[in-house]
Structure 1
Amino acid sequence: MTEYRWLLPAVMLGEQREERVGVRRSTRDWIVDIAVFLLAAGLGLLTALQLGSDTVTSPLVVVSDQVVVADQVTGAAACAMVWLRRRWPVGLALALLPVSLLSVVAAGPICVALFTVAVHRPFPYVALTGGLHLVTLVPFLWWRPDPELPFWANLALSVMIYIVLIAWGMFVRARRQLVLSLRDRAERAEVEAELRVERARHLERERIAREMHDVLAHRLSLLSVHAGALEYRSDMAQDEVAGAAGVIRAGAHQALQDLREVIGVLRLGAEGTTPDRPQPTLADLAGLVEESRRAGMEVTLDMRVGDPAGAPARLGRNAYRITQEGLTNARKHAADAPVGVTVAGGPGDGLTLEIRNRVTSGQAIPGSGTGLIGLTERAELMGGRLRYGKGTDGRFLLSAWLPWPA
């Protein structure tokens, strides 16, 4: 009898996926399972034909026709049991142990069972089932020897085939686990990237909200000043009334335009690619002061920076917003008092900004203090500091220091 067990590793070439309990086989699983079954059955058929033509004896028993028929029936049952390999791989391998002592035709299903256990189960199960099947080789080969090979050569070859088959299955399992690990790592990286994008979007919206507060508060305070003049000064000439109304109309239009831009950016979200409009710089402080003067405020600007236009963009923008909020607060709480703005510093020394005004309003205004909290956060985000309160001369002082890299 020629031993065919060494041909079986090729049967498992298409084995790649594990079928879990309660999960239907995919089309690929069906193709693999049918191929495995046909190859195992084909090998059993070749063995059965060989059994029918050989009359091999052993020291214990003569291979009679009844033994051949029993071998074929047992092998056919073992081939049918191959369909259970995905659901119960260890149970199938253990159930085939007594079969491996009797049937040559069952060589194919036994190899399939050992390979399946190596692919789908941890090493302790592999060692248990593989070790038991290796032990059964000794009595089987003694009872059903191969006439073309000596006993020890046949035993060594069969053991080598089993070991290679199990090692191959363990390699397939390790490769699957590596692929799953890499896939899980890639999914986690994608989730983390989405979280970083979402956080960046949140921070950008917070920045836009702070900018909007500063811009709208400044413009609405100008509108309030001009509207108050129209309300309380009934002796204004027609051209003055028209001028104040024009300022109110232009300021309201600009405030609405700023609001539309911000809402548009928020709607665009992460996919928005519209660039920001030009941001104010340190050189734009003169224009801001002039705008406040046109609104009726008495503002003096003491610019002690040699080249305001050369200041870093971030530094200039934050200094502009702090000055803007300071002038807005001065209009709210000291509409008729003069305001002094002092800007000094340079590269390496930092930029010092001071706004002084006398407090004349004793009324509590809704939202008071919110802008100063936002300015403090703005300065701290730059690595600077901001202080506010009554100075030694009794006037309100808003003082900020912002770093200016050398």
Structure 2
Amino acid sequence: MTRTEYPWLLPAELIGADGPELPGDRGPARTRRTVRDWCVDTLMFLVAAAIGLLVVESSEQAGNSETVVVVDLLVGGLACCALWARRRWPAEVAVVLAVVSALAPAASAAALASLFGVAVHRPLRPVLVVGGLSLVAGSAQTVLRPDPSVSLYAALATTVVMLLLAIGWGLLVRARRQLVVALRERARRAEAEAELRAQQAQRLAREAIAREMHDVLAHRLTLLSVHAGALEFRPDAPAPEVARAAGVIRDSAHEALQDLRTIIGVLRAPGAADEGEHPQPTLATLDDLVAESRAAGMKVTLDRRIEDPAAVPATLGRTAYRIAQEALTNARKHAPGTEATVELGGGPGDGLTVAVRNEAPLGEAPRVPGSGQGLIGLTERAALAGGRFEHGPTDDGGFTVRAWLPWTP
């Protein structure tokens, strides 16, 4: 990728009032002509040569000497051949042909063609300079090589009109090309921004799924780990306790497998998961979470100071449920056998407060591996909901988790 291929990558100092500079504005842009370039250059060469021959014939009919006619013919031919270099050196060729056309009228058409090239490939200031020089040369030609059939004022007016037409046409072509370049740049930027937005949306979706997977599976797998650890540390436990622990392990494994299938279904085909078959938890289902924790042998006290949990918005209730779920999971992992208290309070306009406290661990607890991402995920959940999240040890050696979430009436 080069700057001549993508003009919008040019330095800022090269972009002025005329808009983005086009390839060739500050020198040779390419060494190979396209098919379109060959067609345009060939057409200009033929038109300039035809006009030059007409001018030479007119000069011969005006009674000029044979030497003057031959010189005009040779100079006109060389001027037409110089047009093949106008893409590489537009300003230089235009200046030379303007000076030559002042003495040889046969080079006038080639000079106009080169002036058109300057207007296309150069900014406005060089165009004005070369245009002024061409006007002086055209006026000098009218005086030095007058046409007997045309008055002086008519010849000067024709010269000015032809120069303005060449410059105006060239500026129009240049403006069109700049518009195409600007539209391409705008399309490229829009495509890049759309791709960036898609990547950000995909990243946010993956982070949401990762948080959901952690919150759901961590709760189930912690039950498995705790009860498996209890069986390992108490191989002589009574048969009813072993059977109860095995039942919890079986049920937790089944629920974890179901949750994992749901999440994998979302990853494979977003939106394909059946929300009716696997409803999202809300604050109304917090009783089931507490009951499940108690069935697993955990001491949990629920202090709910909300009149109607079903009136809590679904998104708000799901966030509060996940915070309580993760806090109970951490309490079961790091302080087994202790009592945990779940407190809920607030109302519309005041916000919803969720607090989970557990007592200090009793002795040395079994080591349960953890990723350390649970509290980080809860912080992100609370922040996304527009709330606050705090956590830390208590004075008596326990641990507390507290979150405040906005509740719009």
d(CA) in 2 for partners of 1:276, 1:150: 91
Deviation at 1:393? 6.6
Q: State the Cα distance separating 1:321 from its structure 2 match.
A: 0.9
394-403 vs 129-138, greater mean Cα deviation:
394-403
* Cα pair 2:231 2:237 within 8 Å, conserved: no
Change (3 A) 1:136 1:325: same
Q: Which runs of 5+ in 2 are unaligned?
A: 1-21
Residue of structure 1 in register with 2:62 after alignment: 55
Aligned pairs for 1:322-401 within 5 A: 322-361=323-362, 362=364, 366-367=369-370, 370-391=373-394, 395-401=398-404
Displacement of 1:390 in angstroms is 4.3
Q: Distance in 1 between matches of 2:265 and 2:35?
A: 49
1:355 to partner: Cα distance = 1.6
- Report deviation, 1:322: 0.6
> What letter corresponds to residue 172 of structure 1 in structure 2?
V
User: Quick one: structure 1 residues 307 and 32, their matched pair in 2 at CA, closer, same or farther if it must change by over 3 Å?
Assistant: farther
Provide the residue aligned with 1:29 in structure 2.
37
Give secondary structure in 2 for the equivalent of 1:96. helix
> Structure 1-normalised TM-score?
0.83
1:194 corresponds to: 195
Matched, 1:171 2:178: no
- CA distance in 2 between counterparts of 1:109 and 1:262 reads 74
**Secondary structure of the equivalent of 2:342?**
strand
* Secondary structure in structure 2 of the residue aligned to 1:196: helix
TM-score by length of 2: 0.83
| Secondary structure in 2 matching 1:73 | helix
Give the counterpart letter for 1:30 in structure 2.
W
Q: How far off its partner does 1:172 sit?
A: 2.4
Q: Give the distance between the partners of 1:275 and 1:168, measured in 2 at CA.
A: 62
Matched, 1:92 2:97: no
CA spacing shift, 1:388–1:97, aligned 2, 3 Å: closer
- The structural deviation recorded for 1:253 is 4.4
Equivalent pair of 1:89/1:117 in contact (CA under 8 Å): yes
Q: Equivalent residue for 2:296?
A: 295
Give the structure 2 partner of residue 234 of structure 1: 236
Aligned to 2:148: 147
Give the total of aligned pairs.
Answer: 379
Q: Which amino acid aligns with 1:42?
A: A
SS at match of 1:106: helix
Identity of aligned residues (%): 55
Residue correspondence of structure 1 range 207-246 to structure 2 within 5 A: 207-231=208-232, 232-237=234-239, 241=242, 244-246=245-247
Provide Cα deviations, 1:66-102, integer angstroms capped at 9, x if missing partner.
Answer: 2112111211111111111111101111221332023
1:112: Cα distance to partner?
Answer: 0.6
The CA deviation at 1:111 is 0.8
| Matches of 2:346 and 2:138, distance apart in 1 | 92
CA positional deviation for 1:188: 2.0
- Provide the C-alpha distance between the structure 1 equivalents of 2:107 and 2:182, rounded to a whole number of angstroms: 36
Between stretches 382-391 and 82-91, larger displacement belongs to 382-391
Q: 1:158 to 1:312 in 2, by over 3 A?
A: same
* Aligned 1:241-320 pairs, distance under 5 A: 241=242, 244-259=245-260, 262=263, 272=270, 274=272, 277=275, 278-320=279-321
- The answer (yes or no) to whether the contact 2:113–2:166 under 8 Å persists in 1 is no
Return the alpha-carbon distance in structure 2 between the equivalents of residues 222 and 367 of structure 1. Answer: 13
CA contact 1:118–1:126 (8 Å) conserved in 2: yes
2:407 match: 404
- For 2:146 and 2:94, the matched residues in 1 are separated by 23
Structure 1 225/104 Cα, relative in aligned 2: closer, same or farther at 3 Å? same
Distance change >3 Å, CA 117–CA 281, structure 1 → 2: same
Give the superposed CA RMSD: 2.7
Change (3 A) 1:78 1:265: farther
Q: Is the 8 A contact 1:225 1:295 kept in 2?
A: no
Quick check: 1:356–1:395 contact (8 Å CA) kept in 2? yes
| Cα shift readout 1:355-393 (whole Å, capped 9, x = no counterpart) | 222222445765486422332332233232223334467
1:219 Cα offset (Å): 1.1
Q: Which moved more, 1:312-321 or 1:144-153?
A: 144-153
Q: In the TM superposition, what whole-angstrom CA distance separates every residue of 1:238-290 from its partner, at most 9, and x where no partner exists?
A: x764554344244334435544655665677xxx5546854321112112112
